[in-house]
C-alpha cells in the first residue's frame, strides 16, 4: 500500500539545520521593569539605507522631496547618503551643502566603510558643512570574520582603529566642520558581546571620547537574529559593561528580518539605548528597517511626546510613496488607508458609542474602543472610520446616516434597515459607500409613493369645546385622486382615522419619533413612525419635510406602502 506523506511529515526535518540563538547571561536584567518616558534621538536613514533597498534608487528630485519632508517632520539627524559609493549621493551631498539647504540645528550623516580612499572621498563630500556625523563601519560578526574576511579579532579591530585615526586626522584638517564620529560594529547581533564591546572601546579610546566629545556607538541588528527580549539583553549587557558609558551615545539600527523590528527597538530603548535609526514606514533591505512612524506613534499613544511632527499622515504617505515608488500597506498600523476603518458590526457599534461618550465627557482622555489613537491627531477625519460591507451591522449603518446625512434612526429601525443593507452588500459583494447607504434608505422609506401618495392636507378649525381635530387629506391611490377625512386628538391620530374610513388601511402606531435635520432656514423635520398591521407585522415608515406635520403624515404613508408589499 502506498502511503502519502502529510505536509507535517514532509517538512519535519527541515528545522534541524537551524540553531537557536543563545540567550545572554543577564540574570538581574533591569529593562523589563522600566517604561519609556521620552523619545529617543531620531536619525532618518531613508536617503541612504532605505534608498539602497529600492529597485530604482531616488534621483535628485525624489531625494530633495524626501529631505524636505524629513525636515518638516522635525528630524534633527538625517543620513543623506554614502558619498564615496555613489556619484548621485556625492552630488546630492554637495547640492544641499553648497545651496544652504541644511537648517541650523540639523546634522547630516554620511556613511563610509573603514577604507582610506572611501573616507577621504567622504570628507570631500561634506566639505563646508557646519556639522556632520561621519558614520564608520566594518563587519565584526564571527560568521563574517570566518567566511568573508578570513581575519581574527585583532585584524578586525585594526581596521576600525585605522579608520578612526584617519577620520580624526581629517577632522583636524577641516576645523570649519564639526565632526561627530559614529561607529557601527556591523552585524552586532551576530558578534560576541565581549568582542563588540572590545572593538567599540578601542574606537572610543582612539577618538579620545569623553562626556564633552561623545562617540555615537551604533549597535545594528543588521540581520534580526533573535527574539526582541534577547536583543534587549544584548543592549543592556553592553551598556552596563562599558568602561566609559557617559562618553557614548548608544544607538539602535534594527532591521525587521523576523518581523519584530519595532518591538526590538522599544525593548532596546528600555535597555538603555539613547538613539534610533530607521526609515519612514520601514523601507529597507530584505524585510526593511525599523518603522519610525510606528515607533513614534506608539510613543504618542502612551502619552510620550514623539518629538516628530506627524499631524498630516496622508501627506507623509504621499511623499514617501512618490520618493520610494513603493506603496504603504493599507493595514500599516497608523498610516494605512484602512487602519482606522471598521467593517465589523460589533466594532462599528462600539466605536459609534465610544465617540458619542467621548463627546459628552470632559476629562480630555482619548477612550474609544478599537481606536488606539485619535485619527484627527494624524490629520485624518472620522469620515472613513466606519464603512459598510457584508460584515457590517446596524450600528455602522446608523453611524454613517447620522454623520453624513444627519438622519438619526431609532434602534429598532436600525435592525430593520440593516437587513436591507445586508441584502445589497451580499448581492454586490462590495463595500457600500455612504451614498449607497443613503440611496438605499431613501428607496426603502422616503421615496416610496405607491400605491399611496400624499398630495396635500388641511385641518378644519376646531370649536372651543371640541377636543377632536378634523383632517382633510388629498391622496392618490393607484393613480386615483381622492379626499379623505378623519378626526382624532392630533394630526397623526386623525390621519389614521381617515385611512381606516376612506381607504380601508388599518394601522396602529407603536412608536413615534422626530428630529431636525440641518440648521437654520434649510432645516427639515424627519419623522419616524413604527406601526403594527392587522396581520401583526411591525414595521417603520419615515417622512421628511420642512413642516413637521407633513413629515409625520408622510411617515404614515411610507409605513402604509411598505405594509402593502
CB-CB contact of 47 with 67 (8 Å): yes
Q: The C-alpha cell of 155 is what?
A: 585584524
CA angle at residue 263 from 258 to 267, to 5 degrees? Answer: 125
Q: Determine how β-strand 452-459 pairs with β-strand 469-477.
A: antiparallel
Q: Contact 36/270 with Cβ under 8 angstroms?
A: yes
Bridge partner list, 87: none
Kind and range of the H or E element at 75? none
DSSP codes joined into one string, 163-219: HHHHHHHHHHH-TTSEEEEEEEEESGGGS-HHHHHHHHHHHHHHHT-BTTBPEEEEE
User: For residue 531, what is its C-alpha cell?
Assistant: 406601526
Residues 410, 529: Cα–Cα separation, whole Å = 10
Quote the CA–CA distance of 297 and 304 in Å, as a whole number. 9
- Distance separating alpha carbons of residues 7 and 11, to the nearest angstrom: 6
To the question of whether residue 377 is assigned a binding role by annotation, the answer is no
**3 state SS of 251:** strand
The beta strand positions in 318-371, using DSSP E, are none
Nearest-angstrom CA–CA distance, 56 and 550: 65
- Annotated binding residue at 449? no
Nearest CA-CA partner of 65 in 309, 314, 319: 319
Cα 143 to the chain's mean position, in Å?
38
> What are the cell numbers at 291?
518603522
Determine if the peptide bond prior to 451 is cis (ω within 30°). yes
DSSP string spanning 528-541? EEEEEETTS-EEEE
All 3 cell numbers of residue 35? 517604561
Owner of C-alpha cell 457584508: 390
Q: Any idea what DSSP says for residue 442?
A: I
Q: Do 287 and 314 contact (CB within 8 A), yes or no? A: no
253 is in an annotated binding site: yes
Binding residues: 49, 253, 255, 289
Binding site for Mg(2+): which residues? Answer: 49, 253, 255, 289
Amino acid at each position: 500500500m502506498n502511503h502519502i506523506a502529510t505536509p507535517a511529515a514532509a517538512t519535519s526535518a527541515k528545522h534541524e539545520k537551524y540553531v537557536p540563538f543563545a540567550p545572554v547571561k543577564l540574570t538581574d536584567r533591569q529593562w523589563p521593569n522600566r517604561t519609556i518616558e521620552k523619545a529617543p534621538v531620531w536619525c532618518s536613514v531613508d536617503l541612504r539605507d532605505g534608498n539602497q533597498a529600492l529597485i530604482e534608487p531616488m534621483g535628485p528630485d525624489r531625494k530633495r522631496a524626501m529631505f524636505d519632508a524629513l525636515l518638516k517632520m522635525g528630524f534633527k539627524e538625517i543620513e543623506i547618503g554614502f558619498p564615496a559609493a555613489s556619484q548621485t549621493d556625492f552630488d546630492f551631498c554637495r547640492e544641499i551643502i553648497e545651496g544652504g539647504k541644511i537648517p541650523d540645528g540639523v546634522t547630516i550623516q554620511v556613511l563610509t566603510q573603514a577604507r582610506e580612499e572611501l573616507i577621504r572621498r567622504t570628507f570631500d563630500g561634506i566639505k563646508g558643512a557646519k556639522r556632520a556625523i561621519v558614520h564608520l563601519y566594518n563587519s565584526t560578526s564571527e560568521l563574517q570574520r570566518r567566511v568573508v574576511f578570513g581575519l581574527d579579532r585583532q585584524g578586525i579591530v585594526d581596521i576600525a582603529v585605522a579608520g578612526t585615526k584617519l577620520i580624526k586626522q581629517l577632522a583636524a584638517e577641516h576645523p570649519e566642520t564639526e565632526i561627530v564620529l559614529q561607529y557601527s560594529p556591523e552585524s552586532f547581533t551576530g558578534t560576541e558581546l565581549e568582542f563588540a564591546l572590545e572593538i567599540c572601546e578601542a574606537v572610543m579610546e582612539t577618538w579620545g571620547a569623553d562626556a564633552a566629545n561623545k562617540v555615537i556607538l551604533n549597535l545594528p541588528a543588521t540581520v534580526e537574529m533573535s527574539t526582541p527580549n534577547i536583543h534587549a539583553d544584548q543592549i543592556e549587557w553592553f551598556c552596563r559593561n562599558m568602561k566609559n558609558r557617559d562618553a557614548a551615545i548608544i544607538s539602535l539600527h534594527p532591521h525587521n528580518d523576523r518581523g519584530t523590528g519595532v518591538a526590538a527597538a522599544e525593548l532596546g530603548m528600555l535597555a538603555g539605548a539613547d538613539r534610533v535609526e530607521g526609515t519612514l514606514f520601514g523601507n529597507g533591505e530584505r524585510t526593511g528597517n525599523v518603522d519610525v512612524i510606528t515607533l513614534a506613534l506608539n510613543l504618542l499613544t502612551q502619552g510620550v511626546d514623539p518629538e516628530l511632527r506627524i499631524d498630516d499622515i496622508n501627506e507623509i504617505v504621499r511623499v514617501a510613496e512618490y520618493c520610494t515608488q513603493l506603496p504603504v500597506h493599507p493595514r500599516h498600523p497608523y498610516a494605512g488607508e484602512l487602519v482606522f476603518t471598521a467593517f465589523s458590526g460589533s466594532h462599528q457599534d462600539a466605536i459609534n458609542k465610544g465617540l458619542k461618550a467621548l463627546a459628552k465627557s470632559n476629562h480630555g482622555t482619548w477612550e474609544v474602543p478599537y481606536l488606539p489613537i485619535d485619527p484627527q491627531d494624524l490629520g485624518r477625519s472620522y469620515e472613513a472610520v466606519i464603512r459598510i460591507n457584508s460584515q457590517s451591522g446596524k450600528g455602522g449603518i446608523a453611524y454613517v446616516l447620522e454623520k453624513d446625512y444627519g438622519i438619526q434612526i431609532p434602534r429598532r429601525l436600525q435592525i430593520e434597515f440593516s437587513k436591507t443593507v445586508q441584502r445589497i452588500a451580499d448581492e454586490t459583494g462590495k463595500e457600500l459607500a455612504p451614498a449607497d447607504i443613503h440611496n438605499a434608505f431613501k428607496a426603502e422609506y422616503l421615496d416610496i409613493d405607491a400605491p399611496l401618495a400624499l398630495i396635500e392636507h388641511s385641518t378644519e378649525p376646531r370649536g372651543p369645546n371640541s377636543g377632536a381635530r378634523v383632517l382633510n387629506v388629498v391622496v392618490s391611490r393607484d393613480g386615483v385622486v381622492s379626499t379623505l377625512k378623519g378626526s382624532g386628538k392630533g394630526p397623526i391620530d386623525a390621519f389614521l382615522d381617515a385611512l381606516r374610513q376612506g381607504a380601508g388601511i388599518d394601522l396602529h402606531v407603536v412608536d413615534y419619533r422626530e428630529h431636525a435635520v440641518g440648521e437654520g432656514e434649510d432645516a427639515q423635520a424627519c419623522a419616524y413612525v413604527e406601526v403594527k398591521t392587522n396581520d401583526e407585522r411591525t414595521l417603520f415608515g419615515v417622512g421628511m419635510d420642512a413642516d413637521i406635520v407633513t413629515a409625520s403624515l408622510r411617515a404614515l404613508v411610507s409605513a402604509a406602502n411598505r405594509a402593502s408589499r
